Chain A
Amino acid sequence: MTIVSNTSAAPAGKDKRNKPKGPWRTALSRLLRDKLAVASFLFLASIILSTASATYYADHISQTDPFQSNLDGHIEISGEPAEIMAADSEGLGLGVTPIGPTWTGQYLLGADAQGRDVAARLLYGGQNSLIVAFSSTALCLLLAGVVGTVSGFLGGIVDTILSRLLDIIWAFPIYLLAISLSIVLISKGLQIGPFHIPSNSLLLPITIIGVVYVPYVARPIRGQVLTLAKSDFVLASVCLGMPTARILVRDILPNVVTTLIVFAPIMMSLSILTESSLSFLSIGVQPPAASWGTIIQDGQGLLYTRPLVAIAPGLAIIITVLCLNFLGDGVKEAFDPKAKLRVGKD
C-alpha cells in the first residue's frame, strides 16, 4: 500500500486514502482471498439458480408435472416406447417398478413410486429446502440477536428470566421439541387471534426450526454483550452522556451483527439438515409440496429397486451443507478467527 503523508495538503476528496479500511472491508477482502470459501459461495449460488429454474425444467425439459402422479404414461427413449411404471417380470408380476434413470431430458433420474419425474421434483424440493433453511436461519438469528442483546445489556431480572428460558429450551432435545410442536400443529395448523397458519404452510417448519436453535446463538451473543457492556469504549460513551439507545445502536449492535454473520452459514447448514430430518419423519414440509427430505422418504419404499430416488436428494443435501460449512469456516476466519463454533447437529 502506498503511504500518503498526513501533513501534505491533500485535497479533501483524497482524505479517504488515509483512513484505514473499516472492519467490514477488511473482513470482506480477507474472505475473498479464501479460495475454498469463494468457490463454495459460487457453487451455492449455482445450486440456488438451478433450483430457481425448476418451473422451466419441468415445462421444457422433463415436460411432466412433478406434482401429478403419472402411473400409466409412456415416454420414448431413443425411438423405443417405454412404460413409466413397468410391470414386474419376476415373482407374481403384480407389482410395478418405476422407470429407472434414462439420462436424457425426460425422467433424467427416473420416476418415483407415483410415476413423477425425480429430477424435476429434486429441483422443486430444493427450492423448499433452501427457502426453509434461509428463512429459519434469518428468524433464528433475529430472535437470538434481540434476546441475547436485551438480556446481556439490561441485566437484572430481565436477564435472569430470559437466560433461564434459554437454559430450558437448550436442555430440551431438538427433535423432541420439534416433534412436540409439530404433532399439535400438524392436524389443524396454528390459530393466533385472527391469523391462521394452515398445517401445510412452510411457515410452520420455518418457525419450528428457527425457534429451537435460538439458544445456540443467543447464549454466545448474551455473553458477548455482557463483555461489551463493560468495555472501555462503552464506558466512554456513557461518560459522554450518550443516550442508551445510541450506545446500543452505535457501539453494541455492530459487534453483535458480526457474530451473527459468523453464525449464519453454520446455522443454515444445521437448518437444512434439521428440515430434511423433520420432513423424513413426515413432520416438516407437507405433501404435495416436496423437499429433499420428503423425496428421501418417498424413496424408502424403492430403496432396493430404484435407489437413486433416495440417493440423489441426499447427495444434494450433502453438497449444499458441505459448501455452507466451507463458507462458514471462511467467514469465521475472515470476521472473527477467535469465535468458537461447533459444526454439526445439536
Chain B
Amino acid sequence: MLLAVVRRAFDMVFVMFGISVIAFLIFFATPGSDPSARIAGRNATPEMLAQVRASFGFDRPLYVQYGRLMQRLFIARDLTSFVNRGQKVVPAVLQATPVTLSLVFGAAVIWLTAGIGLGIVATIFRGTVIDKGLMLLALCGVSMPVFWFGSVMNLITQSRFHDTWLFSWVPGLGYTSFFESPSLWFKTLVVPWFTLSVLFIGLYARVLRASLSENYQEDYVRTARAKGLSESRIMLRHALRTSLITLLSMFGLDFGALVGGGAILTEVVFNLPGIGRLTYQALQNLDLPFIMATVMYSTFFVVLANALVDVAHAWLDPRVRDAR
C-alpha cells in the first residue's frame, strides 16, 4: 500500500512536470508570433515589449525561460497582468477559488445523489418503460451543451417565470460569499448547481445502470439470491458496492476537471466570479499571464485530484490493493 502511494506520488510529479512543459511550449514556443507581444497585450509600447522580453528572458535559451516562468508562478508569485496594469495574477486566481469550489461541490452533491438514485431505479425496473424513459432522459442530459441549458434556465428563472411563485425567490445573477449571507449564497447557487449537475446525472445514471446490470449476471449475486437474501440487500450490499468503485474513480476525475476549468461555461453563463470566468475574461482581453496562471494552477489541481482518487481506489478495492 505504502509502495503504491509513493509510486503514485512519483507519477504525479512526473505528469505535473510534463503538463507544465507542454503548457510552457504552447505559450512560448508556438510558431507564428512573438511571445513577448502576446504577453504584453494588444496595445503594447516598444518599451513594454523590451521590458517583457528581459523579465521573461526571451533572449535566453528555452530551459532558462521555463525556469523563470515556474519561479514567477509558484515561488515568487509576482506575475503581473499587462492588460489590467499591475494586477498580481496569482492572488487573483487564489481569490476566485472559493467560488468555483462552492459551485462544483454543491453540484457534486446533487449529481451523486440523483445519478446513483436514477441508476438504481432504472436497474430495478430494467426492461420496462420506466427504465427506457429514464435512460432516454439521461441521454438527453448528456447531449445538451451546458451553456445552452444554463441560458434556458436563466430565461425561465430570471425572466419568463420570475414573477410567478415558482422562481420569485431566485436572486439576480452574481455571487454572494457564504460568510456574508449563507442563505443568499445558497439561493444564488441553486440554479447553477442544478445546471452543472444535469450532464453528470445523466452520465452517472447511465454508467451505473450498465455496471449494475453487469453485476447482476455475476456469480456472487446468484449466490446471494440463492442464500435467500432480500432484493434490496442484494442491490445495496452486493451489486451496488462493486459499482460504486467505478463511480468513485469517475467522480474524482470529473470533480478535478470541473474545479480545474471545466466549470468555465457554467460560470460564464451565471456570471459567477470563479476561476473559469477569470479565464474567460482573460481570454476576451488576450491577457496571457492570467491564462498561464489559471492553466498551470488548475491542471495541477486536476493531477492532484486524480492521484488522490487512485490512492482511494487502491484503499477501497482489495483487487487493486493486493495487486501491487
Contacts and interface: CB of A to CB of B under 8 A. Distances in A.
Contacts, number: 164
Contacts of A189: 32
A99 B40 CA distance: 42
Contacts of A182: 283
A190 B19 contact: no
A159 B250 CA distance: 26
Interface in B2-52: 14-15, 18-19, 22-23, 26-27, 30-33, 38
Nearest to B33: A188
Contacts of A169: 22
Given A303-B159, A344-B142, A277 B265 contact: yes
B23 A180 contact: yes
Interface residues of A, number: 55
A343 B203 contact: yes
Interface in B246-303: 254, 257, 260-262, 264-265, 268, 279-280, 283-284, 286, 288, 291, 294-295, 298-299, 302-303
Interface of A: 164-165, 167-169, 171-176, 179-192, 269, 273, 276-277, 280-283, 293, 296, 299-300, 303-304, 307, 310-311, 313-314, 317-318, 321-322, 325-326, 342-346
Interface residues on B, range: 35 or more
Given A175-B261, A179-B291, A189-B32, A296 B26 contact: no
B197 interface: no
A176 B143 contact: no
5 contacts: A176-B261, A179-B283, A180-B26, A192-B31, A343-B203
Contact of B32 (A180, A184, A277, A313): A184
A310 B139 contact: no
Given A282-B283, A282-B284, A343-B142, A180 B295 contact: yes
Instruction: Determine which residue in A187, A269, A283 has the highest number of CB atoms from chain B within 10 A of its CB, and name it.
Output: A187
B257 A311 contact: no
Interface of B: 14-15, 18-19, 22-23, 26-27, 30-33, 38, 139-140, 142-149, 151-152, 154-155, 158-159, 199, 202-203, 206-207, 254, 257, 260-262, 264-265, 268, 279-280, 283-284, 286, 288, 291, 294-295, 298-299, 302-303, 306
Judged by DSSP, the binding face of A is helix
Contact of B143 (A167, A283, A321): A321
